[in-house]
Amino acid sequence: MAPAPHQVTAQPKPDKILQLDGISPESVEAHWGLYEAYVNKYNEVQQKLADADRGSANQIFSDYRGLREMLTFAIGGIKNHEIYFDNLGPGGGGPEGGLADQINASFGSTDAMITELKAAGMASRGWAWLAWDWDWQRLDVYLGDAQNTFPVWNASPVIALDVYEHSYIRDFSTARPKYIEAFVANLDWAAINARFGTIESLLGS
Ligand SMILES: [Fe+2]
């Protein structure tokens, strides 16, 4: 007997993301609702996949193709947003320890990394990331134009910058540069350092 379809549960909404400077609680609440919608759709797609007809799978159109494609879109919508919201908070700070060392090794300075991330945010149609490449043992900045355009294999995101218009239209109209400045100013570096700490703990193991 096949196992039951995999299902996920939305994370609890952290209070810290409602305390940002320049990015309003109303905007964050609406954005969180989109994250929850991705969770619901993931669960729906997984259930429908269980009964989908494998024999009629077709590259032009088939129920199976649509479900498999949208599964990755929903997963991206979940994981990208979980990193994004975890990255934000009123705590401030900066990169420390191993993260500071790796940022300096890959970019020369934190300012240079932030400049690169901002440029990627302006150049992307969806997401920009700072990520650790496990194969080449280095950080770099990547962009993806949709929820399911993951940039490279075997890399772990450290910072996720959402540049879909729903991220900023309420607070900044179409002024994406102002939103990106606010995003950078509201980075919760304690959370980011902790995220890289998990990566660092696996290095060399
Ligand atoms: Fe988003």
Q: In this predicted model, what pLDDT tens digit does every residue of 138-192 receive, in sequence order?
A: 999 999 999 999 889 999 999 999 999 999 999 999 999 999 999 999 999 999 9
pLDDT at 68 over 80: yes
How many whole angstroms from 160 Cα to the centroid of ligand 1? 10
Long-range contacts of 101-104 (CB under 8 A, 24+ apart): 102/132, 102/138, 102/139, 102/196, 103/139
Residues with CB under 5 A from ligand 1 (ion): 162, 164
Residues 6+ apart with CB under 8 A from 43: 5, 7, 8
Say how many CA atoms lie within 13 Å of 145 toward its Cβ.
Answer: 1
What pLDDT is stored for residue 29 in this prediction? Answer: 98
Q: What is the DSSP string of 32-63?
A: HHHHHHHHHHHHHHHHHHHH--GGG--SSS-H
Prediction pTM value: 0.96
What pLDDT is stored for residue 203 in this prediction? Answer: 87
CB count, 10 Å around CB of 147?
22
How many whole angstroms from 203 Cα to the centroid of ligand 1? 31
pLDDT at 204 over 80: no
As a whole number of angstroms, the distance between CA 37 and CA 66 comes to 18
As a whole number of angstroms, the distance between CA 160 and CA 180 comes to 12
Please, what is the angle between helix 63-87 and helix 25-51, to 10°? 150
Question: Residues 61-84: what's their mean pLDDT?
Answer: 97
How many whole angstroms from 41 Cα to the centroid of ligand 1? 15
For domain 97-202, give the fold. minor pseudopilin epsh fold (3.55.40)
For domain 24-87, give the fold. Helix Hairpins (1.10.287)
Banded model confidence at residue 205, pLDDT cuts 50, 70, 90: low
Domain ranges of the chain: 24-87, 97-202
Give just the sign of the alpha carbon dihedral 197, 27, 10, 40: negative
Q: Read off the pLDDT of residues 93-141 as tens digits, 9 standing for 90 and up.
A: 999 999 999 999 999 999 999 999 999 999 999 999 999 999 999 999 9
